[in-house]
Amino acid sequence: MANHSQFGFQDASSPIMEELMQFHDHALMVALAICSLVLYLLAHMLSEKLSSSTVNAQEIELVWTILPAMVLVMLALPSLRILYMMDEINEPDLTLKAIGHQWYWTYEYTDLKDLTFDSYMTPTADLPLGHFRLLEVDHRVIVPTNSTVRVIVTADDVLHSWAVPSLGVKTDAIPGRLNQTSFLTPRPGIYYGQCSEICGANHSFMPIVVEAVPLANFENWSSLSSS
């Protein structure tokens, strides 16, 4: 989860999120270069007293067309690379379905003897000491580490969105449609997210908690939960 007054991304917990963070650094670097160029030129123009009687500016016009085109290519190529990487056919080890309702999530693990449960936010009054306000749920999404997990996201009523920032996942939940996303986390831990599409009065109160545990513990949990 994010700390108070956190400005940047949460620590990446999946390879895709690491790629996204690097791309964000790249894009910000380009934006910084352009902004500093414009600021410098603006400051110079505002302090310059000479005037120009240029009528033929063919060369500079060529430069300030070609250069921005090159900048755009520099941004587009890594962006497309990550886009295609996110959509690779990756033979998931586990598929689970996330269904958005007003205002909770239902998770279905149909790979494992029809394990289904609802996930409601833990009300603040019932929060144990040390737990995070508005982020904890009664039943977490348990997934194995180092395994590609495919999540099929849909909704039962209105638009929702299943998002977990540190895994680099955000997928809209649309009634009547199945959207697919996948992630892999090499680190065991607990990853928090929140509904990311306005869905009514309690839109801010239907969080997502993904708990990644080693495969043996996941299998133990799933056999206990299914029985």
Partner 1 sequence: MRGLLARRMKFHLLGAFLVSLGCATLYKFAVAEPRKRAYAEFYKNYDPMKDFEAMKAAGVFESAPAK
- Closer CB to partner 1, residue 197 or residue 211? 211
Residue 223 as a binder of partner 1 (CB under 8 A): the answer is no
- Closer CB to partner 1, residue 142 or residue 155? 142
Task: Report the DSSP beta bridge partners of residue 164.
Answer: 169
| One character per residue 24-63, x = contact with partner 1 (rule: CB under 8 A) | -xx-xxx-xxx-xx--xx--x---x-xxx-----------
Considering the complex, what minimum distance in angstroms separates the CB of residue 12 from partner 1?
Answer: 7
Considering the complex, what minimum distance in angstroms separates the CB of residue 51 from partner 1?
Answer: 7
Cα separations in angstroms, 129 against 121, 126, 133, 200, 212: 16, 9, 10, 29, 22
Stretch that binds partner 1, among 83-91, 162-170, 191-199, 207-215 (CB under 8 A): 207-215
Residue 180 as a binder of partner 1 (CB under 8 A): the answer is no
Stretch that binds partner 1, among 87-95, 102-110, 168-176, 208-216 (CB under 8 A): 208-216
d(CA 191, CA 184): 12
Task: Report the DSSP beta bridge partners of residue 211.
Answer: 142, 190
- Closer CB to partner 1, residue 156 or residue 219? 219
Stretch that binds partner 1, among 14-22, 81-89, 91-99, 106-114 (CB under 8 A): 14-22
Question: Do residues 104 and 206 touch, judged by C-beta distance below 8 A?
Answer: yes
Question: Do residues 151 and 171 touch, judged by C-beta distance below 8 A?
Answer: yes
Cα separations in angstroms, 18 against 13, 76, 85, 205: 8, 18, 12, 28
Cα separations in angstroms, 127 against 27, 136, 206, 210: 40, 8, 15, 18
Considering the complex, what minimum distance in angstroms separates the CB of residue 120 from partner 1?
Answer: 14
With a CB cutoff of 8 Å and minimum separation 6, the contacts of 165 are 2, 9, 10, 17, 193
Binders of partner 1 in range 119-178 (CB under 8 A): 139-140, 142, 145-146
Considering the complex, what minimum distance in angstroms separates the CB of residue 170 from partner 1?
Answer: 21
- Closer CB to partner 1, residue 10 or residue 154? 10
Closest CA to 98 of 158, 172, 167, 166: 172
d(CA 187, CA 212): 7
Let me know how long the chain is: 227
Considering the complex, what minimum distance in angstroms separates the CB of residue 212 from partner 1?
Answer: 9
Binding residues (CB under 8 A) for partner 1: these are 12, 18, 21-22, 25-26, 28-30, 32-34, 36-37, 40-41, 44, 48, 50-52, 139-140, 142, 145-146, 186-190, 211, 213-214, 217-218, 220-221
